[in-house]
Structure 1
Amino acid sequence: MIARPSEPPSAGTVADAERGHWADTLLPRAVRPYARLARWERPIGWWLLLWPCWWSAALAADAAGRPWPKPLHLALFMIGAIAMRGAGCTWNDLVDRDIDAAVARTRSRPIPSGQVSIRAAWAFLGLQALVGLVVLVQFDRFTIVLCLSSLGIVAIYPFMKRITDWPQAFLGLAFSWGALVGWSAALQRLDVAPVVLYLGCILWTIGYDTIYAHQDKEDDAIVGVRSTARFFAGATRRWLVGLYGAAILCHAGAFALAGVGLLAWIGLAGFALHLAWQVIRLDIDDPDACLALFRANRWAGWILFAGLVADGLRRL
């Protein structure tokens, strides 16, 4: 539905935010709008950004004969994912503030509702980017350059929903970059295996974000926002079979190129079963079910990561 100009925002609330989260209960009231702007109450976003990094780091460790990925790298990737996901959300909300003001689920977000000014949002974006930069300079020069080369994709992503039915593909290009970075940070180079893993992560991202986008398809049609959810429509399940199936094949190719052992393959099998479960349970006309399936991808990530780590540990 379209918001009526006379409708005032509900002060201090965001319609699509998590209720009872620590960001809304423990933080000072003045900070809470910024927490919502960065989506701190919705950790699934940074988990999905983090998983390609951790998968790639674990895959590189396994390929190099190490028992586990470097704990410091895993910690840096997590801090970086939280900071840069928040920066990305802030940038997206700055670009989309007019669209958000016209959509029921998003018009109470901090910028369109006036809880955070445009100037303050830009300052907060810069602060989060600075945290990301501090994390970035802990790595080698090759990895730093590799990370910086993704900024163009991140910058153009919010505009893609205006010009293509495939904005989820551009999200995949940005969110999956960690599949290259995790390997680079571990081995100071790129090989074919992380590139194939990157392709698989892009396909996985298109799939899960299509499920997410089905929540907003009616409002998106009204305001002219394009998405794979609207493009696939009633054929979404068949598209997901293809996207998820191709993602699993790419992951298998990366595993084969890296020479992983049995436990990693068992993890990949569990990952595949989880994606199959998502396809079976999908109901594109139930927004709550779509959101639950989207969030379930955090556990899909854990399954694949656990298999890779277990495969490395067998060397002990």
Structure 2
Amino acid sequence: MTQSPQTPEPKGQVSDAVKGNWVDHLAPQWSRPYLRLSRADRPIGTWLLLLPCWWGLLLASASTGRFGFYDAWIMLGSAMGAWLMRGAGCTWNDITDRDFDAAVERTRSRPIPSGQVTVRGAAIWMGLQALISLGILLTFNKAAILLGFASAIPVLVYPFAKRFTWWPQVFLGIAFNWGALLAWTAHTGSLGAPAVALYLSGMAWTLFYDTIYAYQDTEDDALIGVKSTARLFGARPLPWLRAFLILTVVLMALAFILALLPLNDLLILVLALGGAWFLGWHLAWQMRVLDIDDWKVCMHLFRSNRNAGLIPVLFLAAAILV
């Protein structure tokens, strides 16, 4: 029996893009290289940047007992800002890492090393995304705006971290979870201890999922001298991942207790804590099926953290509604 021919891959597709993504099949041809720079064909990063924002906002709303139209805007603005700032950050990362990316099998198909976009074009695209994101930020209160400006520092530093430390995932965690601080502050008007505990929980979560992600590139990273927690932990990541899991759950539970215990409403507190508990079970499942020698398993587990991060969102939303 004659086999039907396989559909050819779209021209310029990045090797680790989601198959059948809208960028490679629906976006105008001229826009595809720039959308690939922004990782629009790989949406998991936007989710991982957005979810801590929603954690912070919903926890603040649960603690004050209110969720109004302005909060709905914070939620929507966070989503748009996460897409834009993740795109700007990834573009900056690809500009700074273009020589490294050209030497790594998984990343050499990215727009800059593959010649789809020039460095100058990437820089202009980065600036445009950052400028639109700034417009969204300016709709929040003054304290949140100041936090938003401060977030630029870890974003600028992160691409260089793997050159000087075995723990670049810490710098990613600092940048990716900033939204927990910002969204809490956008609702309450000031930074609080629950937001800081939630932020630290998100950092531990980032150490967990990005270590799994980094196992895809350990051989190439060793050849070009790039550091990561995956290379540091080697063949024994599970004790470290277990520690990151415990820190994620304990710090998130602490954030929920600090914010919600003063309400003297046991149901609200139990619902919120359920989100931290089931998030922990999701991370435990990831550890159970992890195979650090199979890049497809690592990528699948990394992407599954969208669902993991949505668990606290759902439980906090339920806590607001009761």
TM-score by length of 2: 0.92
Aligned to 2:90: 89
- The number of residues matched between the two structures is 305
Structure 2 CA distance for aligned equivalents of residues 256 and 14 of structure 1 = 43
Secondary structure at the aligned position of 1:161 is classed as helix
The Cα offsets for residues 50-79 of structure 1, whole Å up to 9 and x where unpaired, read as: 011000000000011125782111000000
Find out whether 1:182 has 2:190 as its counterpart: no
Secondary structure at the aligned position of 1:27 is classed as coil
Query: Which runs of 5 or more residues in structure 1 are unaligned?
Result: 1-9
Q: How does 1:118-129 map to 2 (within 5 A)?
A: 118-129=119-130
Identity %: 50
Q: CA RMSD in A?
A: 1.3
Find out whether 1:296 has 2:304 as its counterpart: yes
The Cα offsets for residues 90-121 of structure 1, whole Å up to 9 and x where unpaired, read as: 00000000000111111111101111011110
Find out whether 1:272 has 2:280 as its counterpart: yes
User: 2:215 touches 2:295 (CA, 8 Å); kept in 1?
Assistant: yes
What is the CA distance between 1:46 and its match in structure 2? 0.5
**One-letter amino acid of the structure 2 residue matched with residue 189 of structure 1:** S
**One-letter amino acid of the structure 2 residue matched with residue 310 of structure 1:** A
Q: How does 1:209-224 map to 2 (within 5 A)?
A: 209-224=210-225
Find out whether 1:15 has 2:15 as its counterpart: yes
Secondary structure at the aligned position of 2:172 is classed as helix
Higher helix share: 2
Find out whether 1:286 has 2:287 as its counterpart: no
**One-letter amino acid of the structure 2 residue matched with residue 235 of structure 1:** R
User: 1:248 touches 1:272 (CA, 8 Å); kept in 2?
Assistant: yes
What is the CA distance between 1:280 and its match in structure 2? 1.1
What is the CA distance between 1:19 and its match in structure 2? 2.6
The Cα offsets for residues 144-199 of structure 1, whole Å up to 9 and x where unpaired, read as: 00111121111010001011000000000000111101110001101111001111
User: 2:154 touches 2:171 (CA, 8 Å); kept in 1?
Assistant: yes
Aligned to 1:257: 258
**One-letter amino acid of the structure 2 residue matched with residue 282 of structure 1:** L
Structure 2 CA distance for aligned equivalents of residues 15 and 180 of structure 1 = 34
TM-score by length of 1: 0.94
Structure 1 CA distance for aligned equivalents of residues 270 and 54 of structure 2 = 19
Aligned to 1:4: none
Aligned to 1:53: 53
Structure 1 CA distance for aligned equivalents of residues 197 and 66 of structure 2 = 21
Structure 1 CA distance for aligned equivalents of residues 15 and 270 of structure 2 = 45
Aligned to 1:173: 174
What is the CA distance between 1:283 and its match in structure 2? 1.0
What is the CA distance between 1:11 and its match in structure 2? 5.6
Query: Which runs of 5 or more residues in structure 2 are unaligned?
Result: 1-9, 261-267
Secondary structure at the aligned position of 2:29 is classed as coil
**One-letter amino acid of the structure 2 residue matched with residue 294 of structure 1:** F
Q: How does 1:151-170 map to 2 (within 5 A)?
A: 151-170=152-171
User: 2:162 touches 2:227 (CA, 8 Å); kept in 1?
Assistant: yes
Aligned to 2:3: none
User: 1:95 touches 1:158 (CA, 8 Å); kept in 2?
Assistant: yes
* Residue range with higher mean Cα deviation, 81-90 or 277-286: 277-286
**One-letter amino acid of the structure 1 residue matched with residue 36 of structure 2:** R
Aligned to 2:75: 74
User: 1:60 touches 1:187 (CA, 8 Å); kept in 2?
Assistant: yes
Aligned to 1:27: 27
Q: How does 1:122-137 map to 2 (within 5 A)?
A: 122-137=123-138
Secondary structure at the aligned position of 1:70 is classed as helix
User: 1:67 touches 1:313 (CA, 8 Å); kept in 2?
Assistant: no
* Residue range with higher mean Cα deviation, 18-27 or 119-128: 18-27
* Residue range with higher mean Cα deviation, 16-25 or 104-113: 16-25
User: 2:257 touches 2:269 (CA, 8 Å); kept in 1?
Assistant: no
User: 2:14 touches 2:110 (CA, 8 Å); kept in 1?
Assistant: yes
**One-letter amino acid of the structure 1 residue matched with residue 219 of structure 2:** E
Structure 2 CA distance for aligned equivalents of residues 312 and 13 of structure 1 = 42
User: 1:37 touches 1:110 (CA, 8 Å); kept in 2?
Assistant: yes
